[in-house]
Structure 1
Amino acid sequence: MQPDDHIDLMMAVMATAFDPAFGEAWNRRQVEDALLLGNCHYGLAMAGVNCAGFYLARNGFGEVELLLLAVNPLHRRSGYARQLLQDLAAFAHERNAERLLLEMRDGNPAEHLYRQFGFEVIGTRKNYYQRPDGSRGDAITFAKPLV
């Protein structure tokens, strides 16, 4: 498969995985532009010939930041998100990263998964996200040490 095919798979998952009311899904151009920068990487979790999920991450100085993690709702609770996080940690370890980072909206149901995987809260951005009802919600920053 060519990378364009992989982006097609990612976009198909993105279309099903993110609640449109929050506006968190990226469009194809955003994904392509991120990958063109050279410091972004992605991983796919396949379920046979179908893509169950993906991650998109950015390499930094001693850190790897998880930008997106998405699993098709038909494949949730099947271990794909954990597999993707393990793949991301292995990728970060290969690059001698000292920690993984991620930021999510307060109330995101994935928080339980991230905490189980060893992520801990390191900061909060007050009123960063707009909720569907027009109110504001915090962004929570998490880190997982790798050393």
Structure 2
Amino acid sequence: MITALTAPEMDSHLDALAGVLHATVLDGASVGFILPHDLSEARAFWQALRPEVAAGDRQIFVALEEGELAGVVSLITGMPRNQPHRGEVSKLLVHPNHRRKGLARQLMTTLEAAARDHGKTLLTLDTRTGDTAEPLYRTLGFEVAGVIPGYCLSVDGTRHDSTTYMYKPLR
């Protein structure tokens, strides 16, 4: 089941959100964190997003499987004044124990519907070049805008990873 979280609901799901982020980073996901990565850093990340959710500038969608929070994705709708038509996909994460079940696709389908409901006609995102998410985004209709080599450190801090910027017009 995919559902949107309100800001107060984020508080009650904080440990589960942190757990998914923590597990994906430990599994090698390049999502803005470097090892060592602990649960307090993951909790702080989600707590920092609460004001954006409360203001309506971001939506958090979670995948629940048998009552357990198994995945999450964020839709940023609060964009600069010259980009009111654009939404940004952020932090598509599925706990390693729940992968290969279609949860990422379900999360993205829900996110796209919400973006359309907000009047968005364009979605953008970035992903580590060659990551497992890149083919998923392509099957969902995202197109590559470009690749930036050496964009960020890998999760273990040993090399510079490239990032691929992608977009999808919503019709």
Runs of 4+ residues over 3 Å off in structure 1: 19-26
Instruction: Give the equivalent residue in structure 1 for 2:18.
Output: 11
Note the residue ranges of structure 2 that are not aligned, 5 or more in a row: 1-7, 34-40
Q: Distance in 2 between matches of 1:139 and 1:130?
A: 11
Matches within 5 A, 1:104-115: 104-115=127-138
Partner of residue 58, structure 1: 76
Q: Does 1:134 align with 2:158?
A: yes
Q: Which residue of 2 aligns with 1:94?
A: 117
8 Å Cα contact 1:18/1:70 also seen in 2: no
Alignment root-mean-square deviation, CA:
2.0
**In the alignment, does 2:52 pair up with 1:44?**
no
**Aligned equivalents of 1:50, 1:57: Cα separation in 2:** 21
3-state SS of paired residue (1:27): helix
In the alignment, which residue of structure 2 is the partner of 1:29?
Answer: 44
Distance in 1, matches of 2:73 and 2:157, equals 28
20-29 vs 98-107, which moves further: 20-29
AA matched with 2:48 = D
SS in 1 for 2:13: helix
Give the percent of matched residue pairs that are identical in Structure 1 and Structure 2. 28
CA drift of 1:111 comes to: 0.8
Task: Give the secondary-structure state (helix, strand or coil) at the position aligned to 1:18.
Answer: helix
